Structure 1
Amino acid sequence: MTAEELVQALDEATDLPDGDGKIAELERIAAHADAAGQARIGFDARMALIETYNHHTERWRMLPAFGWCLNTFDRHPELFEPWDAELLRWYHKWAVATLRGTPRVGLAQTRAALDDMERRFTASGQSLQAVYNLRCKIADHVGDEAQARQWLDRWRTAPRDENSDCAGCDPSRQAELLAGWGEWEAALKIAEPVLSGAVGCTEQPEKALVAVIMPYLRLGRYADAAQAHVRAYRRHRHERDAFPYLAEHLRFCASVSQHQRGLAILGEHLEWFDRPYDDASAMEFAAAGALVCRLAAAAGHGDETIHRPEYGDRPAADLPVATLGAQLAATATELAGRFDARNGTDHQSRRIAGWLAAEPLTDAVELPADQPATGGEVGVPPAGGTPDVVSPLTLEGITAALNERGDRYFVDDDGVVGGKWGHAVIHFERLGEQQRVLHSRVLADRRLPADRLAEAYRFCNSWNHDRLLPKAYVHDTGSGELILAGDVSTDLAYGVSGAQLAALVNAAVITGAQFADAVAELP
């Protein structure tokens, strides 16, 4: 392939929805770029791969690509611009976090990668706040609470910069740590700015609500814990990248004797468990699921069955609760042992054993009505009569959601639905062989001149740092103009209800318009 063909193929691949197909195409382009001696194109393809791995599954697969990019950046500095260094710093954070989340890589290598990150940040005059964040989490992971507390103090007091996690997510992650140490009141206090809405991001308040479920329970605030669980799970049940939070939802159900709900949540997400984002979240999901099964069996539900889908060589099966629980407990224990063998401690094994042996804190707690708030909240459809029947994604379903909003739109000959919302043009289309992927794309009215490319990249990187939707990127038209765009892809292979589709369309419109407004406000 020529350089021009590679660039064209890469442009097309980056527009694909995240998934195995996109990964395969980007890997193919990277291999062709290497064969052609096109280091810059190989770098760009692998950077796109890193982002795709991070938003898909099996995040540890990003590590070889990141190592290649880092080495190429060091060996050929003449190929790169300042914004490449900015993005590489961000991906360095992802890589270190990924190393912590899998026992497939040694602890010494993980710490060496973090030391290298600190060296690079120091040399370029960056704040070390993000480094302290990761050092705190690694210390906690290996069971060195005293060291973790010291790093937490530095994390909280170091100045924030563009490499920091967003202002809404830092308190949530710090609350998780404090809850893990049994500091219930402190966890609630540190999460309060997010819970009150004083700070936040598009992942909040649901992430913070999950972090405070256990503190609420341990303090006897069962109604608050139930409210936090119901509101957060309403969102997390539909978001593939929310898999790491499901363990806390399962532990909540076990703690308040909500056996049937716990079994339902477990059964709904077993397919995600087969392809987790990392081994740490798989370990915790398995342990929490095993706990739900054990307590449900003890309460008389042991003979009920849960369907476990086929995966690889494992056939599909309807498993008794007790049998599934034993399988999950074995998986959790095995993963904890692998982490401890890597870390040279017994911390994860002791922690998971504690989860598996837990008992309910109270009798069944009544759950609040699972009704979303109204009034323009992102992701919440307007009031109306959207049917709650799960069915395949259709063109009629998309237009029905827009009709319910009262929007004006068009449908072209290819079945693409489009419209204008403020400074944004937004298109909805169905992708995939069976057209089961809902893809929304926003194009900002505002165009930037090509000589502002570095600024455009900085804007998109900042947007992707602080916002969940849409994923922003820059398209160079080659005619002196830059298009700032964003997209969101949602795999609906198992169908979607009218209410769910309305929520997805509503979120795409609201966040797409916000993105275009932000572009319009650029100097």
Structure 2
Amino acid sequence: MTTSSDRGLADALADARDMPDGEARFAELERIAVQAYAVGDPRTALAARFALIEAYLHHGERWRLLEPVRRCLAAVDRTPGLLDPADAQTLRRHQRQAVEAFFGTPRIGLDQARSLLDDLAGRLGPDAEVVAELRCRLADHLGDEPTARREYDRSRYDHSGSARLTPRRDPEQSYDQSGSARLTPRRNREQSAAPDPVGGCPGCAPARRAELLAGWGEHGAALAELRPVLDGEVGCTDQPERALAVAMLPWLRTGEAERAGQAHVRAYRRHRRERAAFPQLAAHLRFCALGGHLDRGLDILAEQLPRLDHPYDDLSAMEFAAAGALLCGLAVEAGRGGRRIHRPGHGPRPASEVDVATLGADLFALATELAGSFDARNGTGHQSGRIASWLAERPLGAPVPLPADAPDDGWPDGSAEDPEPAEEEPAPLSLPMITAALDRRGDGYAVEPDGTVVGRWGEAMIQFRRLGQRGEILHARVVATRRLPVDRLAEAYAFCNAWNHDRLLPKAYVHDPGDGALVLAGDVTTDLEHGVAPAQLVVLLTSTVTTGVAYAEAVAALP
């Protein structure tokens, strides 16, 4: 974004961008914006507020987005032409993020969110998919399910309003327990249309839709929405673990407890440490409570309890507390109420060893307090009712043994006793085959606890993992080490589109993790259902590494 020729303001803005995250940086960026407006320099003021928005996102302060976004919109309306098309698109995306922040905290007023959403509809058009999705989520948050369903259906049609893009449950269409429709599925928007830069990560969209459907009790339809992600057809750096976390309870409720357990074990390996994954922890606790895995659930609660003092947002804190209260209540009923859990000190609260019964009461109080805050803001009782329904749930059946917390969720990896296949003899894909092929190439790599093989080749970080029910799909994810600022999103999409047009591999895409920088990644997926010979696997890995490095080098060469 072009700024003023006033070197004083320009230098101050450059210095502010280099300050550590925190209140001092926020205050300095706001000061520069105010001063720039005062001296008649709207471009520098706008650049400072863009930097402030990105700083809030990076620092996890999404609830503070609304005011700088509103001021940016007002400035652009007063002075058309301030932004080039790429920056205008970035501002629309920040406007969406500001509306989404409403769902996570009661500190943003309902009228403010509606006004910002109406403004976005006026700029993009009332039929824009992102507008329909946000209206759906807003109605669902308020407990207006009929409106939410209506907006959901609008968001699932193309702009002509005539073609439904994914299978939806209807009375004449049956689903199996995995969520698969017994009809030929239509192509997903993520596969058939270019991603909308304003609409957010297309790889995360199926998980958002599945959460809505599961909340309405449509568990088969929720699982159907997740299939493109779980089958490796949709790429995103948060997947497949986020989709697995969403799928756990629908699988559990449709009688596939073993599959739900595999999803839980695999997804929790990642979610246990990632700050941005805190909103997924409630699903893991609820799975343990409703699946009968109380001891594991209490272990997870004890491990994750310190994160409740620094939550991702108020909504995730409410859901974590409610899921923890449910787990503790069931543990008390099962005679485990005397178990003690360490709770670290925070603010005026001293560190202590609390029994499960007391901790459950504390978590119940926190969940109901936060739900009441949301409802007071919303003018409904929906969030309190939702939390009450969670707390009233009971286990869904006898617990099914969980897979060992070892690579690939219990799928066979091969063992030392298995004879190595001949060079040209096809054999089921296994972790030892992947590592042996990399050893033959002389590559350095590491094997993560979940069986993912990770290596660094030049500018590319590449992960190899096995997907599919039998681990028969070789999936490689290439991540370029260079990241681009979010204001270059349109350029990043153009780069990936050009790459996908000119190159076969890897399938390139852009992911916006919401921390102010874009991840440019790529996928290579090979179905090896009928096995793979060691020599063939070396060729496949070599091709992936070669094309992945070329992709990452092309990203590094961008201006």
TM-score w.r.t. length of structure 2: 0.68
The alpha-carbon deviation at position 81 of structure 1 amounts to 1.9
Name the residue aligned to 1:71.
74
Q: Deviation per CA, 1:335-359, whole angstroms, max 9, x where unpaired?
A: 1122222222221111100111211
Tell whether the 8 Å contact from 2:322 to 2:367 is kept in structure 1 after alignment: yes
Structure 1 residues 521 and 146, CA gap change in structure 2 (3 angstroms): farther
Tell whether the 8 Å contact from 2:482 to 2:556 is kept in structure 1 after alignment: no
Tell whether the 8 Å contact from 2:339 to 2:355 is kept in structure 1 after alignment: yes
Tell whether the 8 Å contact from 1:142 to 1:347 is kept in structure 2 after alignment: yes
What letter corresponds to residue 107 of structure 2 in structure 1?
Answer: R
Unpaired segments ≥5 residues, structure 1: 387-401, 408-419, 425-439, 448-452, 475-483, 487-508
The alpha-carbon deviation at position 471 of structure 1 amounts to 7.0
Match of 2:459 among 421, 424, 429: 421
Name the residue aligned to 2:94.
91
Distance in 2 separating the partners of 1:55 and 1:48: 10
For 1:300, what is the secondary structure of its paired residue? coil
Tell whether the 8 Å contact from 2:492 to 2:510 is kept in structure 1 after alignment: no
Name the residue aligned to 2:228.
193
Name the residue aligned to 1:234.
269
Distance in 1 separating the partners of 2:460 and 2:61: 38
What letter corresponds to residue 243 of structure 1 in structure 2?
Answer: F
The alpha-carbon deviation at position 107 of structure 1 amounts to 2.0
Residue 202 in 1 paired to residue 233 in 2? no
The alpha-carbon deviation at position 384 of structure 1 amounts to 5.8
Distance in 1 separating the partners of 2:520 and 2:98: 26
Name the residue aligned to 1:479.
none
What letter corresponds to residue 218 of structure 1 in structure 2?
Answer: R
For 1:269, what is the secondary structure of its paired residue? helix
Distance in 1 separating the partners of 2:204 and 2:448: 35
Name the residue aligned to 1:480.
none
Name the residue aligned to 2:300.
265
Within 5 Å, give how 1:258-297 maps onto structure 2: 258-297=293-332
Distance in 1 separating the partners of 2:343 and 2:18: 33
Q: Deviation per CA, 1:98-132, whole angstroms, max 9, x where unpaired?
A: 1232222332222121111100112xxx9610001
Distance in 1 separating the partners of 2:486 and 2:269: 39
Residue 222 in 1 paired to residue 222 in 2? no
The alpha-carbon deviation at position 8 of structure 1 amounts to 4.5
Within 5 Å, give how 1:33-432 maps onto structure 2: 33-36=33-36, 37=39, 38-122=41-125, 128-159=128-159, 161-373=196-408, 382-383=445-446, 420-421=458-459
The alpha-carbon deviation at position 164 of structure 1 amounts to 2.4
Structure 1 residues 45 and 325, CA gap change in structure 2 (3 angstroms): farther
For 1:198, what is the secondary structure of its paired residue? coil
Q: Deviation per CA, 1:289-322, whole angstroms, max 9, x where unpaired?
A: 1111111222222222222222222222222211
Name the residue aligned to 2:510.
466
Tell whether the 8 Å contact from 1:423 to 1:520 is kept in structure 2 after alignment: no
Structure 1 residues 514 and 158, CA gap change in structure 2 (3 angstroms): farther
The alpha-carbon deviation at position 405 of structure 1 amounts to 5.2
Structure 1 residues 41 and 324, CA gap change in structure 2 (3 angstroms): farther
Report which stretch shifted further, 309-318 or 277-286: 309-318
For 1:365, what is the secondary structure of its paired residue? coil
What letter corresponds to residue 154 of structure 2 in structure 1?
Answer: R
Distance in 1 separating the partners of 2:481 and 2:224: 38
Tell whether the 8 Å contact from 1:210 to 1:248 is kept in structure 2 after alignment: yes
Distance in 1 separating the partners of 2:371 and 2:513: 34
The alpha-carbon deviation at position 169 of structure 1 amounts to 1.6
Aligned residues: 432
The alpha-carbon deviation at position 248 of structure 1 amounts to 0.4
Distance in 1 separating the partners of 2:448 and 2:206: 38
Structure 1 residues 441 and 175, CA gap change in structure 2 (3 angstroms): closer
Name the residue aligned to 1:416.
none
The alpha-carbon deviation at position 234 of structure 1 amounts to 1.2
Structure 1 residues 155 and 363, CA gap change in structure 2 (3 angstroms): same
The alpha-carbon deviation at position 26 of structure 1 amounts to 3.9
The alpha-carbon deviation at position 241 of structure 1 amounts to 0.8
Residue 519 in 1 paired to residue 555 in 2? yes
The alpha-carbon deviation at position 382 of structure 1 amounts to 3.8
Tell whether the 8 Å contact from 1:103 to 1:339 is kept in structure 2 after alignment: yes
Q: Deviation per CA, 1:34-60, whole angstroms, max 9, x where unpaired?
A: 235454333223323323333433421
Report which stretch shifted further, 345-354 or 26-35: 26-35
Tell whether the 8 Å contact from 1:175 to 1:187 is kept in structure 2 after alignment: yes
Percent identity for Structure 1 against Structure 2: 48
What letter corresponds to residue 115 of structure 2 in structure 1?
Answer: A
The alpha-carbon deviation at position 443 of structure 1 amounts to 4.8
Within 5 Å, give how 1:437-516 maps onto structure 2: 442-443=481-482, 458-460=490-492, 466-467=510-511, 516=552
Structure 1 residues 156 and 89, CA gap change in structure 2 (3 angstroms): same
The alpha-carbon deviation at position 273 of structure 1 amounts to 1.7
Answer with 1 or 2: which has the greater Rg: 2
Tell whether the 8 Å contact from 2:197 to 2:490 is kept in structure 1 after alignment: no
Tell whether the 8 Å contact from 1:473 to 1:485 is kept in structure 2 after alignment: no
Structure 1 residues 52 and 367, CA gap change in structure 2 (3 angstroms): farther
RMSD after superposition: 3.9
For 1:318, what is the secondary structure of its paired residue? strand
The alpha-carbon deviation at position 137 of structure 1 amounts to 0.6
Structure 1 residues 372 and 133, CA gap change in structure 2 (3 angstroms): farther
For 1:307, what is the secondary structure of its paired residue? strand
Q: Deviation per CA, 1:155-200, whole angstroms, max 9, x where unpaired?
A: 1113563322333222111111111111111111121111111223
Tell whether the 8 Å contact from 2:55 to 2:516 is kept in structure 1 after alignment: no
Distance in 1 separating the partners of 2:114 and 2:509: 24
Distance in 2 separating the partners of 1:267 and 1:384: 27
Name the residue aligned to 2:183.
none
Distance in 1 separating the partners of 2:398 and 2:84: 60
Tell whether the 8 Å contact from 2:511 to 2:520 is kept in structure 1 after alignment: no
Tell whether the 8 Å contact from 1:117 to 1:131 is kept in structure 2 after alignment: yes
For 2:267, what is the secondary structure of its paired residue? helix
Distance in 2 separating the partners of 1:455 and 1:230: 37
Name the residue aligned to 1:481.
none
What letter corresponds to residue 94 of structure 2 in structure 1?
Answer: Y
